[in-house]
Amino acid sequence: MSEYRAGTGWDVHRLVPGRPLILGGVTVPFELGLEGHSDADVLAHAVTDAILGAAALGDIGQHFPPSDARWKGADSLIFLKHALELARAAGFELVNIDSTIILERPKLKDYRERIRQSLAGATGMELTSVSVKFKTAEGVGPVGEGKSAEARAVVMLRRG
């Protein structure tokens, strides 16, 4: 009998000048980028937390404290891969990822396949099990005003 576990993740980062916009490991050309201690990949962080959540293994900040100099400018796919290793060590395998990036600008739809491939590559998943969706915030609130980007993720883990 398999045991299934759902997990959710959410993250937000400010949009600032002089930083790259990295989403799911893919650099998207834009005049602003995400501010943070690591590479501030808001999507990778949400997916990482979803995996840790499904396995009840804490959260990203517990495993990768922003105070730790090792993670300055870090490629956040490292966090994602580590979370998956922890989940696998606990006997879980990843079934699927569904995610949404909420960002007013730029349009991301032309990057969907590259971002899906990047997440599939980082997790060893089939492309068909990795979903990435995009929404604006319809001009409302900090995301709508272009001050920040959010990401949400849901994953399913299976054990046994």
Q: 19 vs 135, which CB is nearer to ligand C5P? A: 135
Alpha carbon of 116 to those of 3, 103, 131, 158: distances in Å?
26, 17, 7, 21
Q: By CB under 6 A, is residue 134 in contact with ligand C5P?
A: yes
Spell out, one character per residue from 32 to 61, where the chain touches ligand C5P: x when CB under 6 A holds, - when not: ------------------------------
Instruction: Give the shortest CB-79-to-Mg ion separation in angstroms.
Output: 9
- Collapsing DSSP to helix, strand or coil, 41 comes out as coil
Q: 45 vs 152, which CB is nearer to Mg ion? A: 45
Q: By CB under 6 A, is residue 103 in contact with ligand C5P?
A: yes
Greatest CA separation for the chain: 51
Residue closest to 88 by CA, chosen among 57, 60, 45? 57
Q: What share of the chain is helix, strand, coil (3-state, %, to 5)?
A: 35, 35, 30
Query: Which one of residues 5, 7, 9, 11 is an interface residue with Mg ion (CB under 5 A)?
Result: 11
* Residue entry with tokens 């499904």: 54
Q: 82 vs 135, which CB is nearer to ligand C5P? A: 135
Q: By CB under 5 A, is residue 49 in contact with Mg ion?
A: no
Question: Using CB under 5 A as the criterion, which residues of the chain lie in contact with Mg ion when the complex forms?
Answer: 11, 45
